[in-house]
């Protein structure tokens, strides 16, 4: 009997890291474990009022060790002995300043409490000014170095963050030898890397966020960056030229991590990528199907044969990079800066009086107060969804714009704000909630429309992530607004499963990741079809959404 082989997929999210141990033959999940970042949970190193969101590398390192150890403990020694590979996905762009050994500066004693020495989370928008400067600066150059990232650079991305930290913190600037994305650093850590120049960078992060392109022979030239700001002199030569797809190995596990985790010494460590890219693979993406990873934000992924897309450039998206999702195919990325976060914002607004008033009540004991508060918080979104679905909704009902965390795509602009219009004395919480949900679906439609307008067809939708799995109300509205069916992937952990598929490919269990997808994919367990009457109503309201968005962008933003 052939010996069973196992692989581990590690998925770093915004709030936690999850590892899954799966059978490489069929994708069956043997064990899983989750670790919530303790420093992040306490709100340390973050300042939401200034859009600063930083994460300490120790949260990542501790989570990596604890989740993998937990999986192996659940599975047993026999399974652990037959683990062949580990691959990792992370949020992005989430870069960090490192020294020449590739050590994040926050892991050095002198910078241990300095937020600028930590990983700058994707949703950190402290570099809005720098992103605007990059956009204006790029117009002076030929070729257009933004052409493969939709023509607009975002404050959520690598260079804007690097430049911002270099400007505001001289000590970090002087101590930083290079900068590394989270998805590239974890494999480097696992392989025992001690020279950042030897670190294998993934094409996913490099192409979508750092302006790498084979047409440029790597990154844009030195003079592009030094003309932007002399502080960037010498930075590119300490970064990278070569990149790798995620079906390749970053190396083999180090002796230290092999012993620490209790894994064989020959475990392959795959090249890392962003969560949405590996999630698209875990969700069994198909050519020209928009694969939507729906959580706090969304990432919308699409793959297409390179020979069919040819020279088509889609404006206002998060990039199009050969091999960034499936090696050999063009990967295109878009997304919304707030999706689940928009619902969470409204929940928090409603939760404020619950927490403040019940929390101070003299009528209840402490335990009852805590239980009542928790029960209420747990039920806000489900009850809102139930009542919002039953509303009489028409063309003139309340209307919202979903830019509560700025706009990622189409046409990145993190200075934009959300809005709710059409309020009256009869407006209720369910009505506002429905308008917000509708706005997030309209934001999704704007992305699909942009692909189609620019010559890339969208033939179907695949839904993944927490919102897709948990909210039939939102998914039915998505199908109605988009006027096409949406299939919901069965796996609860598509990102981690995608990482496991890449791990199996990097280890040689499969020759290419498409084979791993076919063998290890879990399929779909739900499908929502558009209701013709609702689709017609939403088509009319979508035009109003676009008009309200235009007003917010041109009038309210300009007035600030």
The count of other CB atoms within 10 Å of the CB of residue 197 is: 13
What is the rounded CA–CA span in Å between residue 62 and residue 521? 29
Per-residue pLDDT of the chain (560 residues; tens, 9 = 90+): 357 999 999 999 999 999 999 999 999 999 999 999 999 999 999 999 899 999 999 999 999 999 999 999 999 999 999 999 999 999 999 999 999 999 999 999 999 999 999 999 999 999 999 999 999 999 999 999 999 999 999 999 999 999 999 999 999 999 999 999 999 999 999 999 999 999 999 999 999 999 999 999 999 999 999 999 999 999 999 999 999 999 999 999 999 999 999 999 999 999 999 999 999 999 999 999 999 999 888 999 999 999 999 899 999 999 999 999 999 999 999 999 999 999 999 999 999 999 999 999 999 999 999 999 999 999 999 999 999 999 999 999 999 999 999 999 999 898 899 999 999 999 999 999 999 999 999 999 999 999 999 999 999 999 998 899 999 999 999 999 999 999 999 998 999 999 999 999 999 999 999 999 999 999 999 999 999 999 999 999 999 999 999 999 998 865 44
- Total-model pTM: 0.91
- The structure tokens listed for 379 are 């039920």
At residue 144, φ and ψ (nearest 5 deg) are: -80, 110
CA 387 to chain centre: 30
- Show me where the domains of the chain are located: 6-283+491-524, 343-457+540-559
What is the rounded CA–CA span in Å between residue 128 and residue 414? 7
Helix crossing, 366-389 with 472-482: angle to 10°? 30
Exposure of 200 in the CB half-sphere (CA atoms within 13 A): 20
The count of other CB atoms within 10 Å of the CB of residue 379 is: 11
Instruction: Examine domains 6-283+491-524 and 343-457+540-559 and report if their fold is the same.
Output: yes
Instruction: Name which of 551, 249, 516 is nearest 417 in CA terms.
Output: 551
What is the rounded CA–CA span in Å between residue 505 and residue 375? 44
What's the confidence (pLDDT) of residue 109? 98
Residues sharing a CB contact under 8 Å with residue 532, sequence separation 6 or more, in sequence order: none
User: Which ranges of 359-428 does DSSP label H, i.e. alpha helix?
Assistant: 359, 366-389
Q: Which fold has domain 343-457+540-559?
A: Nucleotidyltransferase; domain 5 (3.30.420)
Superfamily classification of domain 6-283+491-524: ATPase, nucleotide binding domain (3.30.420.40)
């Amino acid at each position: 009997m052939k010996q069973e082989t196992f692989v581990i997929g590690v998925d770093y999210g915004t709030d936690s890291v999850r590892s899954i141990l799966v059978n490489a033959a069929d994708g069956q999940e043997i064990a899983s474990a989750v670790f919530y970042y303790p420093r992040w949970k306490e709100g340390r190193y973050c300042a939401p009022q200034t859009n600063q969101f930083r994460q300490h590398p120790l949260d990542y390192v501790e989570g990596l060790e604890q989740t993998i150890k937990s999986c192996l403990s659940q599975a047993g020694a026999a399974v652990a002995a037959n683990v062949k590979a580990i691959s990792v996905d992370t949020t992005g762009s989430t870069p960090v300043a490192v020294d020449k050994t590739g050590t994040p500066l926050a892991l050095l004693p002198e910078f241990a409490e300095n937020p600028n020495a930590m990983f700058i989370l994707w949703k950190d928008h402290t570099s809005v000014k720098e992103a605007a400067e990059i956009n204006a600066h790029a117009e002076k150059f030929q070729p257009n170095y933004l052409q493969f990232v939709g023509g607009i650079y975002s404050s959520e991305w690598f260079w804007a963050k690097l430049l911002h930290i270099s400007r505001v913190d001289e000590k970090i600037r002087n101590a930083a030898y290079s900068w590394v994305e989270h998805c590239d650093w974890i494999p480097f850590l696992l392989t025992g890397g001690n020279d950042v120049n030897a670190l294998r960078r993934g094409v996913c992060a490099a192409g979508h966020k750092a302006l790498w392109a084979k047409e440029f022979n790597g990154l844009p030239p030195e003079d592009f960056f030094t003309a932007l700001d002399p502080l960037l002199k010498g930075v590119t030569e300490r970064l990278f030229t070569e990149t790798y797809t995620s079906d390749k190995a970053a190396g083999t596990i180090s002796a230290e991590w092999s012993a620490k985790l209790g894994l064989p010494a020959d475990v392959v460590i795959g090249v890392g990528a962003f969560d949405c890219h590996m999630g698209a693979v875990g969700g069994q993406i198909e050519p020209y199907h928009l694969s939507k990873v729906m959580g706090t934000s969304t990432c919308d992924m699409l793959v297409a044969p390179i020979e069919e897309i040819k020279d088509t450039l889609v404006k206002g998206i998060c990039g199009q990079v050969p091999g960034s999702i499936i090696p050999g195919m063009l990967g295109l990325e878009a997304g919304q800066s707030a999706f689940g976060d928009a619902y969470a914002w409204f929940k928090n607004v409603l939760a404020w009086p619950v927490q403040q008033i019940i929390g101070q009540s003299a009528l209840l004991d402490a335990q009852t107060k805590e239980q009542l508060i928790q029960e209420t918080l747990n039920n806000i979104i489900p009850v809102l969804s139930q009542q919002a679905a039953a509303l009489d909704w028409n063309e003139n009902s309340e209307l919202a714009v979903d830019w509560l965390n700025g706009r990622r795509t189409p046409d990145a602009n993190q200075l934009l704000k959300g809005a709710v219009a059409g309020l009256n004395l009869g407006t209720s919480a369910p009505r506002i909630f429905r308008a917000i949900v509708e706005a997030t679906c309209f934001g999704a439609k704007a992305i699909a429309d942009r692909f189609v307008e620019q010559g890339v067809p969208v033939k179907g939708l695949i839904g993944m992530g927490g919102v897709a799995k948990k909210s039939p109300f939102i998914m039915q509205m998505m199908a109605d607004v988009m006027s096409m069916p949406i299939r919901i992937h069965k796996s609860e952990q598509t990102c981690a499963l995608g990482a496991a598929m890449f791990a199996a490919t990097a280890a040689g269990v499969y020759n290419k990741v498409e084979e791993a997808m076919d063998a290890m994919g879990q399929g779909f367990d739900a499908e929502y079809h558009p209701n013709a009457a609702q689709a017609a109503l939403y088509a009319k309201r979508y035009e109003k959404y676009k008009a309200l968005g235009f007003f917010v962008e041109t009038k309210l933003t300009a007035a600030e």
